[in-house]
Amino acid sequence: MMADFVTPRHSAVMERLRRRIELFRQHHNTCETRYVGATQERLELERPNTINLHQRLMQNKAKRASKHRQPQPSIDQDAQRASGGGAESGGTAAEQSRNTTRAA
């Protein structure tokens, strides 16, 4: 019936819980030690990749910056031709006004 089972004593329950907690603590400590060691190794392996990616980023930035600097003189030259040459530039009036606006 209902009273057929025996409830464990409070101290026995607490002792089991203490053992479980201690096992979890030991497991956590061993895993944490492995994790810290693996983290250092992983960082050492990733460092060259990070450096390579950083160098590529800086090169791409330099390329983009040089591309933006180079067309500006040609736009200024086009604008000078458009304003000074009139129909000689071969462009439409809209292109000439755009070039002059860019130069300004």
In this predicted structure, the answer to whether residue 31 has a pLDDT above a threshold of 50 is: yes
pLDDT in tens, 73-99: 555 555 555 555 444 444 555 556 555
- Residues 6 or more apart in contact with residue 75 via CB below 8 angstroms: 99, 102, 103
- The overall average pLDDT reported for the chain is 76
- Does 75 or 69 have the greater pLDDT score? 69
Main-chain phi, psi angles of 82, to 5 degrees: -65, -45
Is the pTM of the predicted complex or chain greater than 0.75?
A: no
**DSSP of 48-60:** HHHHHHHHHHHHH
Number of H helices, E strands in the chain: 3, 0
The closest of 62, 86, 81, 85 to 102, measured between CA atoms, is 81
How many residues belong to the chain? Answer: 104
